[in-house]
Structure 1
Amino acid sequence: MSGFSTAAYPLLPPAAAASLGPTVVLAPHPDDESLGCGGLLALLRQAGLPVWCVLVTDGTMSHPNSRKFPAAARQDLRQAELQEALAELTIPEEALHCLSLPDGAVPPPDTADGATAVQQLAAFLDATQPATVLVPWRRDPHPDHRATYLLLQAAVQQLPQPPRVLEYVVWAWERAAPDDLPQPGEAEGWQLDITPVLAQKQRAIAAHRSQLPGSPIDDDPTGFTLAPSMLAHFAQPQEVYLEAVQA
């Protein structure tokens, strides 16, 4: 993260992933799951543990001015890319659950649409009973990422036995303001060695072709693609996770 060093975070071996048990990852957009925690997901599957992915938005705002790919086609393309990425991580197709909230406008829990999403998410977590849930860092500098964190917090409060919540980093690597970073006593961080599955993670990221240079959505000059400097953060042999310090 900008102005933030992970050097003091302990580095856990790949085998530590298995201690997290059955896991759900919340991805605000297709590609967040691979960028932020693709290595951990692959290690969980290698250990024979179930993994589910909740896609929060419809993913349509990456290229909002494309005529070649109108909104419905963009949604279909990005979901197909996500399925390919999950397959690279050996996560089965039926493990994907889509909330289909508006990209760029994920509602907070204190709105009608947000409250509905909270109920859907709580029901999904109650049905799957994960030991751990992965969610973007609470102040990751994207409004959808922050809203996703708030939806999860509201959902776990409804569960009789809340899962462990780990926060992963996406946009905070490049865009974090000082106030976005973990504050003293707020969260503890650690790193996970993903060396054995790094190539798998890279293949999962590469499946999200529409978000990479040379995107098939080539008729929107204002469209989004991941910059090489951004992608470099996710080519490292370790991933960073944060966990709230219990009061």
Structure 2
Amino acid sequence: MTPASLVPVGPYGPGRVVLVAPHPDDEILALGATLAQLSVQGHGIHIYAVTDGEGSHPRSTEWTPDRLRAERPLETERALAQLNIRATVERLGFPDGAVAAHEKDLAQRLQLRSDDTVFVTWRHDGHADHEACARATLAAARSSGASCIEFPVWALVPGHAAHKGLQGRRMRQVLVSPVFSAAKRRAISAFGSQLLADAGTPPVLTPQALSVWQEPTEWLLA
């Protein structure tokens, strides 16, 4: 990927900062430090939690969908508290792994305003839910007049199928405070369901992927 520019964190316009998160953890992994800095700047932050992440362990007897549906939103709350992010989190309850089947409904549920700055996962991020969220959010932003900025999550990870799609793309590298970067690394530890191996199955958040998300920089599509 080709960084187009180094950009500071905000400030954005007078409206809200809205982040559309396909699963609990996407907002922290990709933009936790940015959100923390925006919160300190006084921005109102609204997070749409599109799914509850209940599909992350499809063959597990320990992490059942019901347990994940209860636990993963709590993990997000703990991570936001670690970063001292004051945010309104609105859970939409769409089915994990099947957001694409509800794309039009999602676009209607996103109550965006013309002065909002909206962040959403990249439309080519290599996960069907991430890409469906992008399409729905971009449609809602066009209808409302809100500004929309995409960010990569899985595409940042070398070796992931979507990573090649970033080659040659112009990116913005966000200059985040080292204090917030350190807090983000601590906040990621809140996602215990995604960090622990389960009955011989590796964790969802692998050490290789974590090493990317824990770097002292965050990325936006230009």
Same-fold call, TM cutoff 0.5: yes
Give the AA of the match of 2:219.
V
Partner of 1:241: 220
Q: Deviations over 1:116-166 (max 9, x none)?
A: 222111xx224xx6531111111011111111101102212321xx22211
Q: 1:208 to 1:156 in 2, by over 3 A?
A: same
Partner of 1:97: 90
Deviation at 1:200, TM superposition (A): 1.5
Alpha-carbon distance between aligned partners in 2 of 1:10 and 1:239, rounded to the nearest angstrom = 12
**Pairing of 1:1-247 with structure 2 (within 5 A):** 4-6=1-3, 9-13=4-8, 16-19=9-12, 22-92=16-86, 95-107=88-100, 113-121=102-110, 124-126=111-113, 131-159=116-144, 162-174=145-157, 175-177=160-162, 180-181=165-166, 188-194=170-176, 195-212=178-195, 214=196, 218-219=198-199, 221-222=200-201, 224-243=203-222
Tell me the secondary structure at the aligned position of residue 10 of structure 2: helix
Tell me the secondary structure at the aligned position of residue 134 of structure 1: strand
TM-score (norm 1): 0.79
Matched pairs, number: 218
Deviation at 1:89, TM superposition (A): 2.7
Alpha-carbon distance between aligned partners in 1 of 2:203 and 2:98, rounded to the nearest angstrom = 16
Of stretches 30-39 and 60-69 in structure 1, the one that deviates more from structure 2 is 60-69
TM-score (norm 2): 0.87
Alpha-carbon distance between aligned partners in 2 of 1:178 and 1:27, rounded to the nearest angstrom = 20
Deviation at 1:44, TM superposition (A): 0.3
Give the AA of the match of 2:99.
V
> Percent sequence identity over matched residues?
35
**Larger Cα Rg: Structure 1 or Structure 2?**
1
RMSD between aligned residues: 2.3
Tell me the secondary structure at the aligned position of residue 19 of structure 1: coil
Deviation at 1:5, TM superposition (A): 4.1
Give the AA of the match of 1:190.
R
Tell me the secondary structure at the aligned position of residue 143 of structure 2: coil
Tell me the secondary structure at the aligned position of residue 24 of structure 1: strand
Q: 1:141 to 1:20 in 2, by over 3 A?
A: farther
Tell me the secondary structure at the aligned position of residue 55 of structure 2: helix
Deviation at 1:70, TM superposition (A): 2.4
